[in-house]
A and B are shown apart, each in its own frame.
Chain A
Amino acid sequence: MGTVVSFTVDTDNLSDKLVSRALDEACAELHRLDDRFSRWKTDSELSRLRDGEVNSTSTLMDEVFELCAHACNISQGYFDPWAMPGGFDPTGLVKGWAAERALSILAQRGITAALINAGGDVCVLPGMTYQVGIRHPQEPDALCAIVATTSAIATSGIYERGDHLINPFGDDVAAVSATVVGGRLALADALATALAVGGKDVLYLLEGLVGLEGFFINAKGSLFKTSGMVFAEVAP
């Protein structure tokens, strides 16, 4: 998936051996998923699927199909991996989903407090609260907000990789940066993409989704948020 993944693990009372083994396994899982879902590796299952070379899909691919269908449904089509040029492209969901799977490996191996940041999509183990900064879309060395995160937070935007978001309805992309907080990272990731594309339309949908909040910033530098979106207080 061509990104950088950072792990933050509370290693108190844990042996170095346990921690490093857990991290090795989590990394191995990320590489395994990258091999399968990379759009840039020509022999990945995803690439072969897009080329029409796959007859029966793997269980993992089926799981991604289902998550994508759900995300497409609740975003009313603003996240639509089937509407992307070149065929099915779940990239906007797979990164968060892969980070979730890696986090679950850490938990299975006995780690109780951890955070994974997969290229800006962050998930944390239940029971923990981590302050997560949101990059400022126009000021590369500044943040625009800090959010106390207890489950997942994902940001999507067009400032980092250039204009890589596509509106399935053919209109302009509404936001330069969009963040969705809460729930599971796979969906937060997909909905952040949807929010960046759909702006107010998707913000409105988020109001109706329990446990999810979000905000976006448009090209004019205005911020719009859901009614329940809370930012951490920062002294001016």
Chain B
Amino acid sequence: MKGTYSLLGATVAGFVGVLTLHSPSGQSVPVSKVTSPTPSTTTNSSLPQTPSGSTTTTTVAVPTANVNGSAVGPLENYSFGKMAVKVTIANNRIVGLSIASLQTLESYSQQLEQYAVPILKSEVLAAQGTKVYAVSGATYTSEAYAYSIQGALDALHFK
């Protein structure tokens, strides 16, 4: 359970840590100090756990008048693409957190690495002692099977 909490916390921190909001006055407000008005597991887990398990809102470190509106953070790299998070603020509180843009296939496709296809000859593998138990490939016809590597494997394994 503890592990789950810390993981969730890390995720939230990862989401909001990268964002900086600009209030209408142009003042920069660190998002990570704004808390959610509604208790939710994700938000709470990023907060220090109180003994009573109380989930009410905590202090809001916004120095000036109410901040309202929403802003989209910069595109950030994640494991396979880029993502921007949209944060909506009403009365100094985060009321919405959503993925504003997920550059999917195009950037993914561009950053995909191409590899040359290795050619692993069965006699070389055998000489190295690499034991292969089965061969995965497009559907065999029974004629092709007779000449396939799987056919050879079966002949070796079964008397």
Centre residue among A130, A143, A207, A224 by max chain B CB count within 10 A: A143
Chain B positions 107-150 with a Cβ under 8 Å from a chain A Cβ: 108-109, 112-122, 125, 128, 130-142, 144-145, 147-150
Asked if B135 contacts A134 (CB within 8 A), the reply is yes
With A221-B116, A223-B116: A154-B108 Cβ-Cβ less than 8 Å:
no
Chain A positions 105-137 with a Cβ under 8 Å from a chain B Cβ: 115, 117, 119-122, 130-137
With A132-B132, A200-B112, A234-B125: A155-B137 Cβ-Cβ less than 8 Å:
yes
User: Of B114, B134, B138, which is within 8 A of A117 by CB?
Assistant: B134
Q: Please name all residues of chain B whose beta carbon is closer than 8 Å to the beta carbon of A3 when the two chains form the complex.
A: 139-142
Binds B, one of A33-41, A56-64, A82-90, A157-165: A157-165
Q: B123 → chain A, closest Cβ, in Å? A: 9
Asked if A143 contacts B115 (CB within 8 A), the reply is no
Q: Is B104 an interface residue (CB 8 A)?
A: yes
Q: Please name all residues of chain B whose beta carbon is closer than 8 Å to the beta carbon of A138 when the two chains form the complex.
A: 117
Q: Please name all residues of chain B whose beta carbon is closer than 8 Å to the beta carbon of A13 when the two chains form the complex.
A: none
Q: Is B79 an interface residue (CB 8 A)?
A: yes
Q: How far is the CA of A217 from the CA of B79 in the complex (A)?
A: 22
Q: B62 → chain A, closest Cβ, in Å? A: 36
Q: A190 → chain B, closest Cβ, in Å? A: 14
Count class of interface residues, chain B: 35 or more
Asked if A217 contacts B133 (CB within 8 A), the reply is no
With A141-B149, A145-B120, A222-B117: A134-B136 Cβ-Cβ less than 8 Å:
yes
Chain A positions 131-179 with a Cβ under 8 Å from a chain B Cβ: 131-147, 153-161, 164, 177, 179
Asked if B117 contacts A200 (CB within 8 A), the reply is no
Q: Please name all residues of chain B whose beta carbon is closer than 8 Å to the beta carbon of A131 when the two chains form the complex.
A: 130-133
Asked if B120 contacts A117 (CB within 8 A), the reply is no
Asked if A133 contacts B114 (CB within 8 A), the reply is no
User: Of A115, A139, A179, A222, which is within 8 A of B134 by CB?
Assistant: A115
Asked if B138 contacts A157 (CB within 8 A), the reply is yes
Q: Is A6 an interface residue (CB 8 A)?
A: yes
Q: B137 → chain A, closest Cβ, in Å? A: 3
Q: How far is the CA of A170 from the CA of B38 in the complex (A)?
A: 48
Asked if A95 contacts B137 (CB within 8 A), the reply is no
Asked if A203 contacts B122 (CB within 8 A), the reply is no
Q: Please name all residues of chain B whose beta carbon is closer than 8 Å to the beta carbon of A95 when the two chains form the complex.
A: 139
Q: A219 → chain B, closest Cβ, in Å? A: 11
Asked if A4 contacts B140 (CB within 8 A), the reply is yes
Q: Please name all residues of chain B whose beta carbon is closer than 8 Å to the beta carbon of A145 when the two chains form the complex.
A: 118, 120
Q: Is A65 an interface residue (CB 8 A)?
A: no
Q: Is B157 an interface residue (CB 8 A)?
A: yes
Q: Nearest residue in A to B108 (C-beta to C-beta)?
A: A204
Asked if A142 contacts B136 (CB within 8 A), the reply is no
Q: Is A55 an interface residue (CB 8 A)?
A: no
Asked if B115 contacts A224 (CB within 8 A), the reply is yes
Contact flags (1/0) for A1-18 with B, using CB distance below 8 Å?
011101010000000000
With A119-B140, A135-B149, A160-B139: A142-B134 Cβ-Cβ less than 8 Å:
no
Asked if A4 contacts B135 (CB within 8 A), the reply is no
* Interface positions of A (Cβ within 8 A of B): 2-4, 6, 8, 95, 115, 117, 119-122, 130-147, 153-161, 164, 177, 179, 200-201, 203-204, 207, 217, 221-225, 227, 232, 234-235
Besides A132-B135, A204-B109, 8 new A-B residue pairs in contact (Cβ under 8 A), listed by A number = A2-B141, A4-B140, A4-B150, A144-B118, A158-B138, A160-B139, A177-B138, A223-B115
A-B contact pairs, 17 of them (CB 8 A): A4-B140, A4-B142, A4-B150, A115-B133, A117-B150, A119-B140, A120-B138, A130-B134, A136-B117, A136-B119, A137-B138, A142-B122, A144-B119, A145-B118, A164-B139, A224-B114, A234-B118
